[in-house]
Amino acid sequence: MEKLKQQFIETFELQDDLEKQKAIFETDGPTLIIAGPGTGKTYTLVLRTLFILLSKRARPSEIILTSFTEKSALELRDRLGLFARRLGVKLDLHELVLGTIHSICDHYINQFIRNTPLSRNYTVLDDLTNSLFIYEHWDEIGEPFRVGRRYFGRWISKWDSITRIKTYFDKITEEMVEPDELVQSSDDFLQMLGESYQKYRALLFENNKVDFAFQQRIFYDVLKKRKIGKQIRESVKYLLIDEYQDTNYIQEQIALTLVKPHQNICVVGDEDQALYRFRGATVRNILEFPHHFKNVKIVKLLDNYRSHQMIIDRYNAFIESVDWSNPDGGPDFRFDKKVRPAKSTASPDYPAVFTIWGENTREEARRFADLVQFLKKQKIIQDYSDVALLLHSVKLDYSEPFIQALQEKNIPAFCPRARAYFENEEVKMALACYLIITGYLEEDIKQSRHADYFNEALKLLGPFVDTPLAAYLQRMATEIQQLSGNETIDENVMDFLYQLFAYEPFYSYLKDENKARNLSIFSSLLNAFQTYYHLPIITAKNKQALKYRLFNSFFNLLLETGLNEYEDQNDPIPKGYVQIMTIHQSKGLEFPVVVVSSLDKRYSVQKQVDRLLRPFYRREPFEPEDRIHDFDWARLFYVAFSRPQKLLVLSTGTEPKDFFRSIWEGLEQWPYVQKETLKAQQFKSRQPFVPKKTFSLTSHINVYETCPRQYQFYKDLEFTPSRTGQLLFGTLVHQTIEDIHRAVLDGEQVNEPQIADDFERNYRGLIASGYRPLGKTQKEQALKQVVTYFQNNKDLLARVVETEVDVSYEKEDYIISGKVDLLLGKDDRLELLDFKSQQKPQKDDPIIEKYTYQLHVYAHILKERYGKEPERLYIYWTAEDHRKDALQEIPYDPRLEEAAGHHFDHIAHRIIQKDYTLKNPPDKTKVCKECDFRYYCKIREV
Cα distances (Å, whole numbers) of residue 843 to 76, 765, 840, 899, 927 = 45, 36, 9, 20, 21
- CATH code at position 828: 3.90.320.10
Residue range 342-361: mean pLDDT, rounded: 94
Same domain, 390 and 410: yes
Total tally of structural domains belonging to the chain? 5
Considering the domain boundaries, does residue 288 fall inside one? yes
Instruction: Give the burial string for 480-519 (b: 16+ CB within 10 Å, else e).
Output: beebeeeeeeebbbbbbbbbbbbbebbbebbeeeebbbbb
Same domain, 105 and 147: no
Compute the distance between CA of residue 440 and CA of residue 443 in angstroms, rounded to an integer. Answer: 8
pLDDT tens readout for residues 505-522: 999 999 999 999 999 999
Check whether 655 has a pLDDT greater than 80: yes
User: Dmax over Cα atoms in the chain, in whole Å?
Assistant: 86
Check whether 26 has a pLDDT greater than 70: yes
Residue range 193-205: mean pLDDT, rounded: 98
Compute the distance between CA of residue 480 and CA of residue 537 in angstroms, rounded to an integer. Answer: 11
* pLDDT for residue 871: 82
Strand 887-890 versus strand 872-877 pairing type:
antiparallel
Residue range 451-456: mean pLDDT, rounded: 97
Same domain, 381 and 429: no
Reported in sequence order, the residue ranges of 101-148 that DSSP labels E, i.e. its strands, are 123-124, 146-147
Considering the domain boundaries, does residue 382 fall inside one? yes
Specify the DSSP element, H or E, that contains 825: strand 814-826
Check whether 725 has a pLDDT greater than 60: no
Compute the distance between CA of residue 875 and CA of residue 833 in angstroms, rounded to an integer. Answer: 6
Compute the distance between CA of residue 140 and CA of residue 136 in angstroms, rounded to an integer. Answer: 9
Q: Identify residue 310 by its one-letter amino acid code.
A: M
Q: 872 pLDDT band (50/70/90 cuts)?
A: confident
* pLDDT for residue 261: 82
Q: What is the DSSP string of 781-796?
A: HHHHHHHHHHHH-TTT
Residue pair 634/319 in contact (Cβ under 8 Å)? The answer is yes
Considering the domain boundaries, does residue 60 fall inside one? yes
- CATH code at position 32: 3.40.50.300
* pLDDT for residue 899: 82
39 labeled binding residue: yes
Residue range 767-782: mean pLDDT, rounded: 87
Instruction: Provide the domain limits for residue 154.
Output: 123-207
Same domain, 538 and 437: yes
777 labeled binding residue: no
Domain ends where: 240, 271, 301? 301
Domain ends where: 262, 278, 301? 301
Residue range 97-116: mean pLDDT, rounded: 94
Residue 147, φ and ψ in degrees, nearest 5: -115, 105
Q: What is the DSSP string of 65-96?
A: EEESSHHHHHHHHHHHHHHHHHTT-----TTS
Question: Which residues partner with 124 through β-bridges?
Answer: 210
Q: How many CB atoms lie within 10 A of CB 770?
A: 15
Check whether 942 has a pLDDT greater than 80: no
Q: Which residues contact 116 (CB under 8 A, 6 or more apart)?
A: 109, 218, 221, 222
Same domain, 92 and 230: yes
Residue range 235-242: mean pLDDT, rounded: 97
Residue pair 414/578 in contact (Cβ under 8 Å)? The answer is yes
pLDDT tens readout for residues 284-305: 999 999 999 999 999 999 999 9
Considering the domain boundaries, does residue 606 fall inside one? no
Nearest to 34 by CA among 49, 19, 51, 56: 19
Same domain, 140 and 258: no
Considering the domain boundaries, does residue 319 fall inside one? no
Considering the domain boundaries, does residue 936 fall inside one? no
Residue pair 492/536 in contact (Cβ under 8 Å)? The answer is yes
Least confident range from 95-104, 200-209, 544-553, 801-810: namely 801-810
Q: Where are the alpha helices (DSSP H) in 378-442?
A: 396-407, 425-438
Considering the domain boundaries, does residue 685 fall inside one? no
Give the residue with greater pLDDT, 942 vs 813. 813
Least confident range from 123-127, 279-283, 381-385, 406-410: namely 279-283
467 labeled binding residue: no
Residue range 2-11: mean pLDDT, rounded: 94
Instruction: Give the burial string for 689-702 (b: 16+ CB within 10 Å, else e).
Output: bbbbeebbbeebbb
Residue range 773-793: mean pLDDT, rounded: 93
Q: Is 188 helix (H, G, I), strand (E, B) or coil?
A: helix
Residue range 185-202: mean pLDDT, rounded: 98
Q: Over pLDDT 90: what percentage of the chain? A: 75
Domain ends where: 629, 648, 679? 679
* pLDDT for residue 822: 72
Considering the domain boundaries, does residue 247 fall inside one? yes
* pLDDT for residue 763: 92
Average of per-residue pLDDT values in the chain:
92
Q: 938 pLDDT band (50/70/90 cuts)?
A: confident
Same domain, 717 and 805: yes
Same domain, 660 and 809: no
* pLDDT for residue 690: 85
Q: Identify residue 83 by its one-letter amino acid code.
A: F
Compute the distance between CA of residue 939 and CA of residue 937 in angstroms, rounded to an integer. Answer: 5
- Does residue 888 come out as left (phi exceeding 0), alpha (psi in the -120 to 50 range) or beta? beta
Q: How many CB atoms lie within 10 A of CB 288?
A: 15
Give the residue with greater pLDDT, 371 vs 822. 371
Nearest to 542 by CA among 484, 499, 494, 496: 484
Read off the DSSP letter of residue 552: I
Compute the distance between CA of residue 99 and CA of residue 342 in angstroms, rounded to an integer. Answer: 30
* pLDDT for residue 481: 95
* pLDDT for residue 772: 78
Nearest to 386 by CA among 571, 583, 595: 595
36 labeled binding residue: yes
Same domain, 413 and 437: no
* pLDDT for residue 601: 82
Same domain, 135 and 98: no
Same domain, 66 and 194: no
pTM given for the model = 0.92
pLDDT tens readout for residues 45-83: 999 999 999 999 999 999 999 998 888 999 999 999 999
Q: Over pLDDT 70: what percentage of the chain? A: 99
CA atoms within a 13 Å half-sphere pointing along the CA-CB vector of 757:
6
pLDDT tens readout for residues 317-344: 999 999 999 988 888 999 999 999 999 8
Nearest to 774 by CA among 809, 814, 805, 733: 733
pLDDT tens readout for residues 252-295: 999 999 998 889 999 999 999 999 988 889 999 999 999 999 99
40 labeled binding residue: yes
Torsion of CA 603, 608, 610, 614, to 10 degrees: 150
Cα distances (Å, whole numbers) of residue 146 to 140, 152, 161 = 11, 5, 11
Same domain, 498 and 582: no
Nearest to 478 by CA among 543, 560, 548, 384: 543
Strand 800-810 versus strand 814-826 pairing type:
antiparallel
818 labeled binding residue: no
Residue range 838-849: mean pLDDT, rounded: 88
Residue pair 308/298 in contact (Cβ under 8 Å)? The answer is no
Strand 146-147 versus strand 150-151 pairing type:
antiparallel
Q: Is the dihedral of CA 51, 52, 53, 55 positive or negative?
A: positive
